[in-house]
Structure 1
Amino acid sequence: MSLFWLSLTHVSLVLLCGGAVPLRLCSAVCPQPGPAAPPVSRPLERRGAAVGRAFHLNKLDLGAVIEFRLACAFRELREVPVAAEPRCAEPRCAPFRRPALQGGAPPWPRPGPPSARTGAVMAAERERRFYRELPKVELHAHLNGCISSSTMRKLMAQKPDLQIQNGMTVIDKGKKRTLDECFQMFQIIYQITTRTEDILLITKDVIKEFADDGVKYLELRSTPREEKSTGMTKRMYVETVLEGIKQCKEEGLDIDVRLLIAINRRGGPAVAKQTVKLAEEFLLSTDGVVVGLDLSGDPTAGHGQDFLEPLSEAKKAGLKLALHLSEIPNQEAETKILLGLPPDRIGHGTFLNSATAGSEELVPLVRQNHIPIELCMTSNIKTQTVPSCDKHHFGYWYSIGHPAVLCTDDKGVFATDLSQEYELVAKTFNLTRSQMWDLSYESINYIFASNAVKSKLREQWCKMKPALFD
């Protein structure tokens, strides 16, 4: 037989035997120096012996090689290879060698049933898909805190001189900050949103991201800002946000967006009165896009009593009120004063039901007026106002059947989205998909838009429900 056929036979056997060529088999083709290796009882050696008995190597043809390899393949399913076999040391064999078997594990994947881990991954993916497709209402979203990492990169590319890095404006998974550190992050964000074009960009991007997350109704909130360096006034700021909302509507995004104009506590009562006046003007001129007023900012700045007059004026003018209350402990006195308005919704309400003195009067006031509470679990965990998810006050208010709506607060800063908030609450409190659907559907009751808008949203929810629960 020619050397060509000997070589072809050798190559075929090397490849077909998994790259580990037993010395006894290989020696039939490649002359081996020195004494023959002692026989060992191993699967690969037995395979080589079987070949020697079944075929004369000088007469192997391609069909026989294929038939032999098929037989080996079936045998491999029943045999577990052990440590690596003695191998041919001939240089010509080197290109065809595969790594030795380590720890008895074969170098090829073996078929088998899906692992428990694979099943868990698939189940988790189904859950994520459910909550992303679930129609949702977002009622507590600060515009500048909702800027995503991708939008932040766009802004930073336009202002490289600021040397602001993405990690300076976001709290990644597993990380935490104090509430004071979070407010410092906003000062960094404000440095890169100083122009009307910046405000337009972030408004449109934020709305599109909420729409992509399955949010069908969104109430953004933002404090009007002026920037002397760019000539942006507070009025221009609000007008630009409204322009962003208008453009998204014209582009056909499947989301209804409204705006709350926010009072920053740090500005004090004088600035608060100016903000209320501005909000009243836009309430009358925007055909229902501006629907209310928000009181927010550093909860340690000022006292609730200072804002009672401008907030009362806003309520008389027809503006709905969403007030951050009891965001930090030991604010029972100011919370009781502001609950006397009463507000139309409460932001956070983290310590309304605490065990501290004076708190026992707050829960009855909230329940008596049926004031919905905007709950932001990831925000509270990352700012350390709540120690753990299972200790979150959602559990308390849900257990007594009080109106509550899940929100993100600042989806950009806290690296979350509304779908994640729904999924987190469901896992933490062991709620079913049906219960989470009810939470989403009932949140329509707490929006600040008209009854006609509420009816339209309910119809939309009902149309989507069958496909979601198929």
Structure 2
Amino acid sequence: MEEFVRGMPKIELHAHLNGSLTTNMLEELAETKFGLGSPECEFYKEKIADLRNFSSKNLSECFKIFKISHELITNLDLLKKATLLVIQKFHLDNTVYLEIRTTPKRCKEFTKLQYLETIIDSIKESQSTYPEITVKLLPSFDRARGILDAEETLEVISQLIGKFPNTIVGLDISGDPSAGCFKDYKPLLIKAKLLGLRLALHCAEIDGIEDETREMIEFGMDRMGHGTFIKDENLDLLKKNDICVECCLTSNIKCGTVKNYDDHHFNEMFFQHKIPVVICTDDCGVFDTDLSKEILYAVDTFGLDKFDLFNLCKLGIKYSFTSDETKAIITNRVSAYFQNCKF
């Protein structure tokens, strides 16, 4: 089964740019930024080495890891390099469709506009290098940065979406789920919808926020990130509204929101409640995984067979934020692969 999954055309709908940088990629960025063997490079390599033994079961600790990539990516050349490295990683894992999400940032060397333009340029460049993978972009609001930062981000998106409507396809709200209130972002999300953006929102990542979860579901989203603590009436509402859940198995376990693979809500949603779900990596670099590994964890834990995998691929295509034409092309590729196997 491992060989089959590795070769399978895959769809990734929940991948954060910075979190997808592996430790080897971070070392490569440090060498590019500071020079091989320099004191600064060696300093960051020591910090990066600590990530290889990352085993925290705390969501707050997980967010601290992103600080390293933020410190390293301080100019547009490094941002471009990071984006291309991430796309290459997914390509090598036979991902045929990838949605990258990232919170636009600014520093002394670039503006938010330049940040997004550079990622878009990198995506376009990757299409000639890796024509087998289609890549789309979902800018994010970071709850920890507040509403004013989100307003600025949406203004930048509005300047770009007219020029790149087939690249910028959606919007996310991510970051520390305990920060801020969802209701404050509603006016901006309404504007985002008017711009033609689809919504893939982090939701129900932590327990005890059932009221906000219901508010988010009722507001409307196309896909839900994680959905770890969806239960009771909210679970029924989720199914009624046909919202696809992006399940990130290893991420949830390493962040401590799920005890182990056996307890992951993917099983209940996919088999018992028949809720549309997709398997995603979230932050494959931080959590030392890839999409093939995540699928194989589900195979080993929940007994998925090739028919289940085919259905998951079809769900990924159906709920992706791309054109019907692209969906048809990907469907043909996936179907051709599965037609050569025995169910």
Instruction: Please list, as runs of the form range in 1=range in 2, the aligned pairs for 1:78-117 lying within 5 A after superposition.
Output: none
SS in 1 for 2:225: strand
Unaligned runs of 5+ in 2: none
Distance of 2:342 and 2:173 partners within structure 1: 38
The letter of the residue matching 2:67 is Q
Instruction: Quote the Cα distance in structure 1 between the aligned partners of 2:223 and 2:209.
Output: 18
Give per-residue Cα distances to partners, 1:179-204, cap 9 Å, x unaligned: 11111111122000111011100111
Query: What one-letter code is carried by the residue in structure 1 that aligns with 2:17?
Result: L
Distance 1:316 1:340, change over 3 A: farther
Label 1:278 to 1:336 Cα distance change in 2 as closer, same or farther (>3 A). Answer: same
CA displacement 1:134-187 (0-9 Å, x = unmatched): 111000000000012221111121334161236647754782341111111111
Q: Contact 1:375–1:404 at 8 Å: present in 2 too?
A: yes
Matching residue within 214, 219, 224 for 2:104: 224
- Any idea what SS the aligned residue of 1:140 has? strand
Once the 2 structures are TM-superposed, how far is the Cα of residue 224 of structure 1 from its aligned partner?
0.6
CA shift in 2, pair 1:403/1:173, >3 Å: farther
Question: What is the rounded CA distance, in whole Å, between the counterparts of 1:169 and 1:321 in structure 2?
Answer: 36
- Residue 361 in structure 1 maps to residue 230 in structure 2: no
SS of match in other structure, 1:219: strand
- Structure 2: distance between partners of 1:341 and 1:170: 41
Determine the structure 2 residue equivalent to 1:393: 265
Q: Give, as a single letter, the amino acid of the residue that structure 2 aligns with 1:381.
A: I
State the AA in 1 paired with 2:72: I
Specify the code of the residue in structure 2 equivalent to 1:142: H
Q: Kindly indicate whether residue 338 of structure 2 is the aligned counterpart of residue 450 of structure 1.
A: no
Look up the match of 1:462. 335
C-alpha distance in 1, partners of 2:52/2:274? Answer: 33
1:150-165 correspondence to structure 2 within 5 Å: 150-157=24-31, 158-159=33-34, 160=38, 161=40, 163-165=43-45
| Equivalent residue number for residue 418 of structure 1 | 291
Q: Percent identity?
A: 35
Residue 439 (structure 1) aligns with: 312
CA distance in 1, matches of 2:259, 2:297: 15
Choose 320-329 or 160-169, whichever is displaced more.
160-169
Q: Indicate if the aligned counterparts of 2:226 and 2:245 stay in contact, CA closer than 8 A.
A: yes
* Residue equivalent to 1:215: 95
2:278 is aligned with what amino acid? V
- Does the Cα contact within 8 Å between 1:134 and 1:437 map onto a contact in 2? no
Q: Secondary structure at the match of 1:139?
A: strand
1:369 partner letter: N
The amino acid across from 2:264 in the alignment is H
Task: Map Cα deviations across residues 402-449 of structure 1 (whole Å, 9 max, x no partner).
Answer: 100000000000000000000000111111122122212321001011
Q: 2:56 touches 2:62 (CA, 8 Å); kept in 1?
A: no
8 Å CA contact 1:346, 1:374 repeated in 2 = yes
Distance change >3 Å, CA 338–CA 451, structure 1 → 2: same
Q: Structure 2 matches for 1:8-27, cutoff 5 A?
A: none
Indicate how the Cα distance of structure 1 residues 243 and 195 shifts in structure 2: closer, same or farther if over 3 A, else same: same
Q: Does 1:277 align with 2:155?
A: yes
Give 1:165-244 correspondences, 5 Å limit: 165=45, 168=48, 171-172=51-52, 175-228=55-108, 231-244=109-122
Does the alignment pair 1:333 with 2:211? yes
Instruction: Note if contact 1:304-1:335 (Cα within 8 Å) is conserved in structure 2.
Output: no
CA contact 1:345–1:373 (8 Å) conserved in 2: yes
Give the drift of 1:266: 1.3
Aligned-partner residue type, residue 384 of structure 1 = G
By how many angstroms is 1:221 displaced? 0.4
The residue type paired with residue 320 of structure 1 is R
d(CA) in 2 for partners of 1:200, 1:373: 30
Quote the Cα distance in structure 1 between the aligned partners of 2:165 and 2:50.
35
| Displacement over 6 Å in runs of 4+ | none
* SS of structure 1 residue aligned to 2:137: strand
Pick one of 133, 136, 145 that aligns with 2:10: 136
Seen in structure 2, the aligned counterparts of structure 1 residues 391 and 151 have a Cα distance that, compared at 3 Å, is same
Contact 1:293–1:320, Cα closer than 8 Å, also in 2: yes
The question of whether the paired residues in 2 share the 8 Å contact of 1:134 and 1:468 is answered with: no
CA offsets 1:300-327 (integer angstroms, 9 cap, x no match): 1111112111112111221101100010
Deviations, residues 343-394 of structure 1 (Å, cap 9, x unaligned): 11000010012xxxxxx32112211110000000000000010011110000
User: TM-score scaled by structure 2?
Assistant: 0.93
Deviations 1:222-252 (A, max 9, x none): 1110012xx2111111011011101111224
Number of residue pairs matched? 336
| Closer, same or farther: CA 383–153 of 1 in aligned 2, 3 Å | same
SS at match of 1:284: coil
The answer on whether the counterparts of 1:170 and 1:412 sit within 8 Å (CA) in structure 2 is no
Structure 1 residue 133, shift from structure 2 partner = 0.5
**Map of 1:28-47 to 2, 5 A cutoff?**
none
One-letter code of the match for 1:244?
S
Give the Cα–Cα distance (whole angstroms) in 1 for the partners of residues 47 and 288 of structure 2. Answer: 11
Distance in 2 between residues matched to 1:272 and 1:203, nearest whole Å: 22
The amino acid across from 1:153 in the alignment is E
Deviation at 1:468, TM superposition (A): 4.7
Inter-partner Cα distance in structure 2 for 1:219 and 1:406: 13
Letter paired with 1:235: L
